[in-house]
Amino acid sequence: MSKRGILSALTLILPAALMVGCNDKSTSVPPVRSTPGSVAIFGTDTPLCDVESFVVTITSASLVPQGGGTPVPLITSTAPTTVDFARLADFTNILSLANVTRAGAYTGLQVTVTSPQLVVLNTSLNPPAPVVVPVTLTATTFTITINPALIISSGATSGLILDLNLLQSLEVNAKGQVTGTVDPQISLTPTTPSGTTVGEATALYGVVQSLSTAVPSDFTGSFGLAVTDGTGQALTVLVNSSTVFEGDSVTAFSSLKTNTFVEVDATVSTSGQIIAQTVDAEEQVSAISQNSAFLGKVINVTRDVSGNATSFTLLVDDEVPDSSGTVPLHSGLTVKLTANTNYFTNWQYLNRQAFTFGPQTLGLAQKVAVFGVLGSALPLTLTANQVFLRPLNVVGNFTALKVAGSDGMTGGFTMTPCGGLFGGNAITVLTSSNSVFTGVSGLTALTAAPTLDTTGLLIYDQKTGQSQSATGVIWTGPTWIMQAKGVHQLPN
């Protein structure tokens, strides 16, 4: 696999072309022909500590037919696309659901990228601050092999996983600092359908634009989603009787409203349908009412004498509506917390221990979505009406096994994150029978040498000297607790 493939994968972030027909399940390699199919590209990434953003603009991308022939364009210079790969750290997302004008077998992708941008968090400063690092790409045009070949069948959707490895792509000097030289490392792998599912999106979010009940009989409704992850997609998301709705006032499709900011776990079917598994409905946003959403990471916390957070600094990843002219992306925003601020821990399937999120358990390194009205006085401050805890990933090294149940999955361990916000302190990771282990068979197979990337919900326990327990694991505060959806042991 060419090292240059990383950015080739980036190219696939096209505006979505939705709802294609039925699936042709043939596994043979058909000749290229004129009947169109489609491909769903799912992005993921292996992260590097304290890298907050890595953005490139893809000016062209084309699939290369097996055996040669004219490449099939997916992205052209007249409609370039921009993607932030640091958003995909061990989560998956829909980068593109795009028509392919010729069905057949494809074994390569040609890509051209421009305008790379890299932002790292400097935790040696007090408070920590984002720093823009000038980028030097080893090349701007790439061809990456797709192996095995990607098969596009007439009237059907195929899946392709784009795995960008920032950990191996960004050059780091002897002091552990990112230099700005980027030698992209990426792999492109066709998905293996599971039943009628070709892939999953675990980090899809945006604003509901429309609602409809004019859907196929297997579904109860659909909503139009304006994706706000930078890809600029407009997607149609279907819901059925199994879709779980979470929110302060949203418990079913019938109570979902337009202009609501939502985070969605979804699957993509072999017929190109995006089907919601969980809809985390948070808050309505509007430029008219000035109620805004800011998403990002907590990089500084101020507390009162009782330990309650009274304000924090948010490293801004996203804004809805766009207010980047006032609050630039990847800048620090002061968030004021009051007695009227509400706190939410949706994602109940992740919050298996029913931990409470609030001013006592809000802490450094958490990812949150904050809703409120931005003040006009300088320095700019957002007074928070709502704060939602969001899933995130934590990278570090395994230190010790705490408990392993008979299933090899339920229990927990400690790890020391490499991120500077943790200050070199170990955190406790809780796992369950539903946790997904990748690159390792289970708890007892974890070792100290490889790097771990855990994903889930992070809670801060500041109860100094008090012992707590869950899943048979005991910890003593102050410390962070990660309820892990996934544990990924990275290769050496």
Of residues 29 and 353, more confidence is placed in 353
**Are 140 and 165 contained in the same domain?**
yes
**Are 43 and 181 contained in the same domain?**
yes
pLDDT tier at 188, thresholds 50, 70, 90: confident
**Are 367 and 223 contained in the same domain?**
no
Q: State the total domains in the chain.
A: 4
Least confident of 34-48, 191-205, 302-316: 34-48
Query: Residue 121 pLDDT > 60, yes or no?
Result: yes
**Are 250 and 381 contained in the same domain?**
no
| Domain boundaries, position 296 | 291-390
**Are 37 and 157 contained in the same domain?**
yes
Q: Among 362, 390, 418, where does a domain finish? A: 390
**Are 39 and 86 contained in the same domain?**
yes
Least confident of 32-41, 254-263, 278-287: 32-41
For residues 405-416, average pLDDT = 95
CATH number of residue 307's parent domain: 2.40.50.140
Residues counted in the chain: 492
- Output the pLDDT for position 289: 65
CB atoms under 10 Å from CB of 15, counted, come to: 17
Of 248, 317, 319, which Cα lies nearest the Cα of 287? 319
The radius of gyration of the chain's CA atoms, rounded to the nearest angstrom, is: 22
Q: What is the number of helices (H) and of strands (E) in the chain?
A: 2, 33
Query: pLDDT, tens digit, for every residue of 2-25?
Result: 433 433 333 333 333 333 333 343
- Output the pLDDT for position 35: 53
Of residues 174 and 221, more confidence is placed in 221
C-alpha–C-alpha distance, residues 55 and 210, integer Å = 29
**Are 53 and 174 contained in the same domain?**
yes
**Are 406 and 383 contained in the same domain?**
no
Q: Among 142, 167, 192, where does a domain finish? A: 192
Query: Residue 33 pLDDT > 90, yes or no?
Result: no
Q: What is the pTM of this model?
A: 0.87
- Output the pLDDT for position 282: 92
Which segments of 173-259 are extended strands (E)? Answer: 178-182, 186-190, 197-212, 221-227, 234-239, 244-246
Q: Among 390, 417, 452, where does a domain finish? A: 390
- Output the pLDDT for position 436: 94
**Are 93 and 162 contained in the same domain?**
yes
**Are 61 and 78 contained in the same domain?**
yes
**Are 10 and 110 contained in the same domain?**
yes
**Are 34 and 165 contained in the same domain?**
yes
